[in-house]
Amino acid sequence: MTVAAPALSSSSVRVGGWDATWLLWIAIIAVLLFLVVSPFVYLVVTSFTAEHTGGFTFSNYAVAWGRSRYVEALFNSLRLGAVSAGLAGLFAIPLAWGVSRTNMPGRGFVRMLVLATFITPPYTGAVAWILLAGPNAGWLNRFYMFVTSAEAGPFNIYSFTGLAVVIALYSFPYIFIFTTAALELVSSEMEDAANILGAGTWRTMRRVTLPLALPAILGGLIICFLEAIALFGAPAMIAIPARFNVVTTQLFQFFGNPVRVEVAAAYAMPLLGVTVLLIVMQRLIMRRRGFVALTGKGGERRPIRLGHWRWAMFGYAMFVAALSVFLPYLFLLQAAFAKAWGRGFALDNISFRNFHFVLFEHATAAKSVINSFLYAGASATAAVILTLGVAYIVTRRLVPFAGILGFLCIAPFVIPGVVLAIGFYAAYAPPPLALYGTALILILAFTTRFLPIGYVNASAALRSLNPEMEEAVRVLGGSRLTALRRVVGPLLKRSLLGAWLLIFIPATRELSSAIFLYGPNTKVASVMIFDMSEEGNFEYLAALALILQLLILPLLWIGQKALGRDFMLRRTAT
């Protein structure tokens, strides 16, 4: 018996390394140029372009930074970032320590609540907190007045503090993720070593555990800071009524009628600069002092016994969860099912009308939800395929300078959503492409925005795959494509599903890059919610926001089934 072997012909000899992988490389680099480089270049070029003549000018910068209130907005942003990150640290670090290192009761429950916080878009949180802490009508104020019979309540969400608290409440999961990841690598043996040398629990924590986790905590704080200064929704809902501006809301005003994209581009530059600087700093901190990651095997970890203090820990966790989950969702539910939210919890105030209205009567609300899911699905698919290709080329070193491709995939991480949107607007809104208002420009922008998540996940998955799995295919007569189709693909299915969900879920609620790019027919749910908040329709808004949250649950369930309960709270998720 003989097997017909593929011919050993000299025509199949490839010469000088020029083969199909090069074509793929060129195709991928073309796509990345289109998605990442070109919007960035347009952003910079536009900031130096005169609006009418198209000539070179510095006047955009003069306009953008010529007024003190424009400059003030930048300082507001920086202050907001610092205060929010600090508050988020106060929320997150004790929780992270309690959950990952102690015998605090209900650790799984607390993790679940952090996840619930994480999947709540900050603008939804902001709306809930307007219901809770609006001056006079807010529920916390009403409760205070009821208890103390005072004339007015002490809380006012429409303030700098109010905004900072709301942002901190919905960005603390980032610090939580970074800190738990680091703490879970600190082995009990390291702590035991301190104990046996005479250090008590608190000293051990202060001298050993915390210093080991410190780089990760700093990294998380920086991410929170950047999240706060890049956020659009919550500041627009709170800062504008409170009569102060931050960079993103100011950019929104430059984008109002008439659109002054040149000035906006010039105005966006410091935001971009700060972000790049801090990301570089974060990487340096995490690399140089990231010794936790170097210990490899974490070793055995025993929870630290807190005694009675474990209930105090649990109480604190419940306090944070009350602010970020329990109270907000309680009053969002109340508003969504109320005829008028101000009338409170009364049986005759309950109605399903709001849901019926947003789903069936409102002209664009239902369509906006469908749009959100369609665009998120398309961009998640595109981003996963693209980053998988790049990660494959990079990890297998198929071409020289493959690292450039990886860098381009990671680069959008440093571009805030609003800034990315301005770049896309500058690059693709004018002819010849004239993509403004099309679904395509939103999909492309979302794809670019979430490339880093896709790339981090795809390359992690590929690195876990032994190259011999593919070489075995090759040596048995299969081509590289066969290896990808029959072995790599099936083995990466789970991780790729995970990456897809990690992109899809945030993409369904993406607001900051959508707000500058949507058109009349391409409104997405996040923009719809934002519009409703401007109109003051909190009942409809609450209903729509809850529908959006509800639709995410099955996806979350699929992700947890396929990848484990905490798949959204891992480091690769951010």
Partner 1 sequence: MSKLALRNVSRRYGAVEAVADFSLDLVQGEFVSLLGPSGCGKTTTLRMIAGFMPPSTGTIEMDGQQISSASSVVPPERRRMSMIFQSYAIWPNMTVGENVGFGLQVRKLSRAEIDRRVDAILDVVQMRGLKARYPAELSGGQQQRVALARAIVVEPEVLLLDEPLSNLDANLREEMRFEIRRLHDRYRYTTVYVTHDQSEAMTTADLIAVMNHGKVEQLAPPEEIYSHPRSEFVARFIGGANILRGSALDEARVSVAGSTLRTTGRTLTAGKPVALSVRQHEIVLAAGKPQSGDNHLNAVVTRQVFLGSARDYTVALDDKTELRVTAPPGHNIAPGERVWLHLPAEQLRALAED
Q: Which residues form the interface with partner 1 (CB under 8 A)? A: 1-10, 12-16, 466, 468-469, 471-479, 482, 486-487, 490-491
Cis bond upstream, residue 452 (ω within 30): no
Q: How far is the CB of 478 from partner 1 (least distance, A)?
A: 5
- The residue among 188 and 482 lying less far from partner 1, judged by its C-beta, is 482
Is residue 310 within 8 Å of 105, Cβ to Cβ?
yes
Q: Give the CA distances from residue 264 to residues 232, 233, 529, in Å, rounded to whole numbers and listed in that order.
A: 14, 18, 24
At closest approach, how far in Å is the CB of 546 from partner 1? 40
Note whether 508 and 545 are within 8 A (CB). no
Q: Which amino acid is at 249?
A: T
Residue 10 or 68 with smaller CB distance to partner 1: 10
Q: Whole-angstrom Cα distance, residue 183 to residue 100?
A: 7
Q: Report the residue number, 82 or 497, with the smaller CB distance to partner 1.
A: 497
| 147/475 with CB nearer partner 1 | 475
- What's the length of the chain? 574
User: Which of left, alpha, beta for 350 (phi over 0: left; psi -120 to 50: alpha)?
Assistant: beta
Q: What would you measure as the largest C-alpha separation in the chain, in angstroms?
A: 98
Residue 554's contacts (CB-CB under 8 Å, 6 or more residues apart) are none
470 vs 539, beta carbon nearer partner 1: 470
Partners of 304 in the β-ladder: 102
Least CB distance from residue 557 to partner 1, whole Å? 24
Cβ 19 to partner 1 shortest distance, Å: 9
Which H or E run includes 34?
none
Question: Are the beta carbons of 517 and 424 closer than 8 angstroms?
Answer: yes
Close Cβ partners of 42 (under 8 Å, ≥ 6 residues apart) = 423, 426, 427
Tell me the one-letter amino acid at 262.
Answer: E
Beta carbons of 499 and 111 less than 8 angstroms apart = no
Please tell me whether residue 430 adopts helix, strand or coil conformation: coil
Closest distance between partner 1 and the C-beta of residue 388, in Å? Answer: 17
Residue 431 vs 490, nearer CB to partner 1: 490
Minimum CB separation of residue 20 from partner 1 in Å reads 11
For the bound state, the minimum distance from the C-beta of residue 2 to partner 1, rounded and expressed in Å, comes to 7
- Strand stretches in 286-421, DSSP E: none
Identity of the residue, 16 or 520, whose beta carbon is nearer to partner 1 in the bound complex = 16
Which residue, 4 or 346, has its beta carbon nearer to partner 1?
A: 4
Torsional sign, CA 261, 446, 406, 482: negative
Q: Is the Cβ of residue 388 or residue 525 nearer to partner 1 in the bound state?
A: 388
Q: Which amino acid is at 287?
A: R
Taking the complex as a whole, how short is the minimal distance between the CB of residue 565 and partner 1, in angstroms? 22
Question: What values do phi and psi take at 370, rounded to 5?
Answer: -60, -45
Smallest CA-to-CA distance from 559 within 486, 502, 518 is with 502
151 or 468, CB closer to partner 1?
Answer: 468
Nearest distance in Å: CB 497, partner 1: 14
Minimum Å gap between C-beta 567 and partner 1 is: 20
C-alpha span between 557 and 574 (Å, rounded)? 19
Q: Give the C-alpha separation, 434 to 440, whole Å.
A: 11
CA torsion 77-81-84-88 (nearest 10°) is: 160
350: three-class secondary structure by DSSP: strand
For residue 463, the minimal CB distance to partner 1 (Å) is 15
C-beta closer to partner 1: residue 108 or 477 = 477
